[in-house]
Copies of this chain bind each other. A is one copy, B any other.
Amino acid sequence: MATFNERLREAQQRSGSWLCVGLDPLLERLPAAVRREPEPLVAFGRAIVEATADLVCAFKPNLAFWLAEGLPGLAALQAVRAAIPPEVPVVLDAKFGDIGHTAAAYARFAFDQLHVDAITLNPYLGVDGVRPFLEREGKGAFLLARTSNPSAPDLQDRLTDGAPLYQTVARLACQWDADLPGNCGLVVGATYPAELATLRALAPHLPFLIPGIGAQGGSLEAAIADGPTADGLGPLINASRDVLYASAGDDFADAARAAASSLRERIGASP
């Protein structure tokens, strides 16, 4: 069975793209025409997926925005996930981090209920919270190393053994990946270009999921500066709001496609 990294590389080669579109819909930001639909989140999500699926190497739904709408929100996430072509990996952005017994329950939710291909994980609980995900054949797990938000330094820059904590996380991720290879990656915000370069050097074989370009002000140039890994694995450059809300009118899907296409071109990188 292929590792997650192998599946991701195939998706990047097929699409000629390192773009990942984040599926983080806020009801109040949806176009008026969509809001009148009986299931607005489903209508919106499917339209975005159809408009952009051939331009991306992955989709990344963020669990928070679906759960915020309660049961209909979770049902909508399932429906939108089912509309994504099977060859395009889906990364559930949930930042799970729990003790082993509970992490195993989250793995069942992500992989057996939602049928996603990878997830994001918070490393604060150590390997116990990570192993139940890495053990799933062909499924990926991206560990938060350096996040894209302004208060990321509160903990992540604290010096531990002479190096900031986020670097310790990268070193641990390399160890954990060595035990169960081919399924582990790192989340590294585009808003911190220097840290991005440092992490690339520390974890040369791990794929990077890079949020923070666009609305959060991160640099696309920094995100792509290091190119693919030696194994030909490009980063997943995530864009959410810039694609989802490219137009507030009836042309939102065309505008999303145009925005995704332009980002794909600016990334310009086919591995």
Encode contact with B along A49-84: 1 for CB under 8 Å, 0 otherwise. 000000000000010110111110011001000000
Verify B159–A24 contact, CB threshold 8 A.
Answer: no
Is A249 positioned at the interface, with any CB of B under 8 Å from its CB?
A: no
Residues of B within 8 A of A123 (CB): 124, 154-155
Instruction: List residues of chain B with CB within 8 A of the CB of A96.
Output: 64, 95
Q: How many residues of A contact B (CB 8 A)?
A: 55
- A89-113 CB contact bits vs B (8 Å, 1 = yes)? 0000001111110110110110011
In the bound assembly, the distance between CA atoms of A144 and B123 in angstroms comes to: 12
Q: How far is the CA of A163 from the CA of B255 in the complex (A)?
A: 51
A176 CB, min distance to chain B CBs, angstroms: 10
A235 partner residues in chain B, CB cutoff 8 A: none
Question: Is the pair A78, B71 in contact by a Cβ cutoff of 8 Å?
Answer: yes
**Which of B67, B103, B168 makes the CB contact (< 8 A) with A155?**
B168
A100 to B215, CA, bound (A): 13
User: Is A122's CB within 8 Å of the partner chain B?
Assistant: yes
Kindly report which residue of chain B lies nearest to residue A166, judged by CB atoms: B124
A156 at the interface (CB under 8 A from B): yes
Q: Is the CB of A155 within 8 A of B169?
A: yes
Tell me if A177 is interfacial: C-beta within 8 Å of chain B.
no
The CA of A126 and the CA of B158, in the complex, are separated in Å by 11
Whether the pair A102, B64 counts as a contact (CB closer than 8 A) is: yes
Give every chain B residue within 8 A of A112 (Cβ-Cβ): 68
In-complex Cβ contact of A68 among B97, B113, B153, B172 (8 A)? B113
Contact A151 B168 (CB under 8 A): no
Q: A152 interface residue, CB < 8 Å from B? A: yes
- In contact, A128 and B150 (Cβ under 8 angstroms): yes
Known A71-B75, A97-B95, A158-B160; contact A129-B149, beta-carbon cutoff 8 A: yes
Q: How far is the CA of A123 from the CA of B147 in the complex (A)?
A: 12
From B71, B125, B128, B147, contact of A125 by CB (8 A): B147
Tell yes or no: A165 within 8 A of B by CB: yes
* Top 10 A-B pairs, shortest CB-CB distance: A126-B154, A126-B151, A158-B160, A64-B105, A99-B149, A67-B109, A70-B113, A128-B151, A68-B105, A68-B108
Contacts from A to B (Cβ < 8 Å): 24, 26, 62, 64-65, 67-71, 74-75, 78, 95-100, 102-103, 105-106, 108-109, 112-113, 122-129, 144, 147-156, 158-161, 165, 168-169, 172, 216
